[in-house]
Amino acid sequence: MTGEQSRDVTRLPCWVGGREVTDGPSFDKISPVDGSLVATVTEAGQETVDAAVAAARRALDAGWATSPVGQRGALLRRIADRIDERFDDLVAAEMRDTGKPLSLVRELDVARAAMNFRSFADTIAAEGMDSYLTDLADGRKALNYAVSKPVGVVAVIVPWNLPLLLLTWKVAPALACGNAVVVKPSEETPSSATLLAEIMAEAGVPDGVYNVVHGFGPGSAGELITTHRGIDAVTFTGETSTGSAIMRAVAPRVRPVSFELGGKNPAVVFADTDLERTLDGLARSTFLNTGQVCLATERIYVERPIFDDVAAGLAERARKLRLGRPEDPATTTGPLISVGHRTKVRSYLDLAVAEGAEVLTGGGVPDLGADLDGGAWIEPTLWTGLDNTHRTVREEIFGPVAALIPFDDEEEAVRLANDTDYGLAAAVWTQNLERGHRVAQRMRVGMAWVNTWYLRDLRSPFGGTGLSGIGREGGRHSLHFYSEPTNVCIQL
């Protein structure tokens, strides 16, 4: 895994048709660690977005859309190999943009990026042809088969919390199915998507198959891409309100959307649970990536007999987290993504207190010394004393924050956990296996874990219900979104 930096990483271009584009205005990417300038980023205007969509269309027409599946699978593996070779460059890019601890970026973000491409190379190879013989009611017989084709030019819009992981989770299946993509990374994390453009070129991906347009949402690259006539589908991960705006933007042209949106995820802890293992699991599900994971636990329902033990044990683990510079091996917890996001998280901490919360630990901005004063630091925070009627227990905060709430029996636990407009993920902690299955199946969510959290087989369906999204990603579930079947029927 040798690092090789081939260009100035402090100036980030858009990437269109295999070429860098630096025309037009630019914006600054600021470090969440200390407020320093990370990079100056070219912002895509109408002209660049038009050029990106046209480049994608040309690539499809030049043969990418009809290229053999085996060839595309081999290319996906070459991209994964090249990600491994440039592992250190990608780690540095993600760390610069997000301030995440080194170990997290290495073990989760960048490792998963390579795995995403390998997983979809396997999935596309395993996808068989769909054909069937029919006897129709009037006595005629027919042979039906379905030909899978790419949808076309897909807009890929992703957030800042797991930038490369979430980007490649969409780009890998899109390319596996023969689509061309126009990617809009978050304005907060432009680096790794730009570096991936180099990696794609090095791996031999045809020009125009992978394009990057940088910028913001409304009035910028995000809106320009979702309202563009040349886009055939939109896949989006981000906030629920943004998903709603994108749905309105594509509605006049009736384009398919795949949405992975926000969550307000519950954990349900029964009194028979293995306490130490559960506390470790809850600490991870609440504080990993400074709580900036869509699957993160923000509501913890605990059976009353062990409520005080869980509250005390989790608060102790929260206090042990080490906030600090990402490259320091002792660091467990980085900053929030930006000072702006911290303002939002802090407003929820203030609101919780106003609603009557009893703060168990945290609740403020830590003093980490003058050189980190400009960063977006926040203390891991837990509180009790609120219930499902309070805004802070209903709205997604997206920080290292959870509310602990007691319950008395299984029915009440299920009712409280499901009492939300979101429906992304849930975790059930119990030593009673039957109850684990039973309660997990009753969770109104896309993903329910028992005695673990965020354990993923990439072929299993990923996504949410309610305000948490539309559709599922993962394995063949992704292939369904990124391909369009044409049924051919022959009378025999």
In the chain, the N- to C-terminal Cα span, in Å, equals 57
Q: Which residue is nearest to ligand NAD (CB)?
A: 217
C-alpha 184 chain-centroid distance: 14
Binding part of the chain for ligand NAD, among 212-220, 279-287, 326-334, 352-360 by CB under 6 A, reads 212-220
Nearer residue to ligand NAD within complex by CB, 117 or 462: 462
Residue (of 80, 483, 468, 64) closest to 236 by Cα position: 468
Listed residue (114, 81, 93, 290) closest to 203, CA to CA: 81
User: Of residues 371-410, which lie at the interface with ligand NAD (CB under 6 A)?
Assistant: 396, 398
With CB under 6 A as the contact rule, which of the stretches 23-31, 143-151, 254-262, 384-392 interacts with ligand NAD? 254-262
The counts of H helices and E strands in the chain are 16, 21
Residue type, 20: E
For ligand NAD, the closer CB: 203 or 445 = 445
Note whether 157 binds ligand NAD by CB under 6 A: yes
8 Å CB contact between 349 and 360: no
What mask, x for binding ligand NAD by CB under 6 A, covers residues 415 to 444? ---------x--------------------
What does R_g of the chain's alpha carbons equal in angstroms?
23
32 binds ligand NAD (CB under 6 A): no
Phi first, then psi: what are they for 224, rounded to 5°?
-60, -35
The contacts found for 456-464 with CB under 8 angstroms, 24 or more apart, are: 458/115, 458/116, 458/119, 459/119, 459/123, 462/260, 463/260, 463/424, 464/260, 464/261, 464/263, 464/422, 464/423, 464/424, 464/425
* Chosen residue from 218, 252, 329, 369 binding ligand NAD by CB under 6 A: 218
Cα–Cα distance for residue pair 191/41, rounded to 1 Å: 9
CB nearer to ligand NAD: give 91 or 193.
193
What is the smallest separation between the CB atom of 242 and ligand NAD, expressed in angstroms? 3
168 binds ligand NAD (CB under 6 A): no
Q: Among residues 67 and 465, whose Cβ is nearest to ligand NAD?
A: 465
Residues in region 280-299 near ligand NAD by CB under 6 A: 294
Site residues, ligand NAD (CB under 6 A): 157-161, 166, 184, 186-187, 216-218, 222-223, 226, 237-239, 242, 245-246, 260-263, 294, 396, 398, 424, 464, 468-469
